[in-house]
Amino acid sequence: MPDKNYQTIVDALDVLARGASKKTNGKITGVNVAKEAGISKASLYRYFKEFPELDDAYRTLRRNGRCLTEDAPETLQDEYRLLMQEVKSLRSVVAQEKKDSAKMNELKSHQIQLLWMDNERLQAEVERLSAQQKQSDKIKPDNVTILPTRMNNERLQYKVNSLQDKNNIDNDSVFQKSIISSFSEHLTSIDGETYFETLVPDNYVLPMCALIFIGIPASGKSSFYYERFFHTHINISLDILKTRDREMQMFQSCLDAKKSFVIDNTNPMASDRKRYINPAKAAGFNVIGYYFVSNVQDALARNRKREGGKRIPDNGILKIAKQLELPSLSEGFDEIWSVKIRNKGGFSVEKLSKKS
């Protein structure tokens, strides 16, 4: 009559059949069946002799092999190997989560920069209104309004009387983009103060600008941004944000916040630029293109001087140079400027075209 040991032998055969052994190497042998059942080998064979069905089950298992599930390990070594693979996979997941967290922190830092820029704009607006209030007590013709001489705290100092000689004006300043080209001929001086005529309304606000850089790698785009626009425009760079999704999030944030920004990418083809121009125009931004004129060999030479991850393969520069399409007002630009790196350092900027 079957007893407790009978059932343990049945369970041991089932464990080995499923390849789920925890006590042995998983091979179908009498020794392993006995170990799984917790009895001696002699007791096992006595039960095989006393209960033929047990012996038949053992021999069938030996003949047909184990009925493994898809993921069941064959031996303890195999199970250890699978567990180590799982540990490796989990470590990879953790590493990826750390990278995603770092990228998200970088994106948050850009959003903080947006808020900071908005605060700067509001401070400038307060100063502008304060300046207007102070001037309201002065006697001045009805057809003039003062141009504020301070913008974005101490970062942008602008003297209006420099407009009398436009060649001395930084062609890339925010004021140049928004005012100089339209109002520089309408200055008047009263009691030592410089004013604009009625062409500049009292509630004039600097327009929102979307600047789109166009040029092969190592043509000076990022350096130009940090020299001319770092304190006034948000930088949107695929090299920094890494993914197109993050880039478009930052782009949309600037549109929603009505913050001026720079698209600091190569943007060689009109199709590349279209993804920024159309939404920016729809949001009311002035869209200005900057075409970076650069000899391919000079760009290659500058690229070879870069260190670490900043250097890109030469083929990347050659490929983009072949794709390069000159920007045109027909794409939706309001203005297009050319930028060249001077031999002695710095940049020379020249207007190529402007929408009439």
Tokens 């790196």: give the residue: 341
* SS3 state of residue 351: strand
Q: Kindly state the DSSP code that residue 84 receives in the 8-state scheme.
A: H
Tokens 């436009």: give the residue: 166
Number of structural domains, the chain? 3
| pTM over 0.85, yes/no | no
Token representation of residue 256: 């929603």
Q: Kindly state the DSSP code that residue 184 receives in the 8-state scheme.
A: T
pLDDT in tens, the chain (356 residues): 678 888 898 888 888 888 778 788 888 888 888 888 889 988 888 888 888 888 888 888 888 766 544 455 556 777 777 788 888 888 888 988 888 888 788 777 767 877 776 777 677 778 877 877 776 655 444 444 444 433 333 333 333 334 334 434 444 444 444 444 333 333 444 344 444 333 334 444 457 899 999 999 999 998 899 888 888 889 999 888 888 898 998 899 899 888 899 999 999 999 999 999 999 999 999 999 999 998 899 999 989 888 777 788 889 899 999 999 999 999 999 999 999 998 888 899 998 877 76
Q: Are residues 86 and 165 in the same domain?
A: yes
| CATH classification of the domain holding 222 | 3.40.50.300
CA distance 175 to 178: 5
- Listed in order, strand segments (DSSP E) in the chain are 144-146, 150-151, 156-157, 187-190, 193-197, 209-214, 234-236, 261-263, 286-292, 335-341, 347-354
Q: Are residues 223 and 344 in the same domain?
A: yes
pLDDT score for 112: 81
| Chosen domain end from 145, 168, 203 | 203
Q: Are residues 80 and 174 in the same domain?
A: yes
| Chosen domain end from 25, 42, 73 | 73
Q: How many helices (H) and strands (E) does the chain have?
A: 13, 11
Three-state SS letters, 122-170: HHHHHHHHHHHHHHCCCCCCCCEEECCCEECCCCEECCHHHHHCHHHCC
* Cross-strand pairs, 236: 263
- Domain enclosing residue 187, as ranges: 75-203
- Expressed in angstroms, the distance from the first to the final Cα of the chain is 106
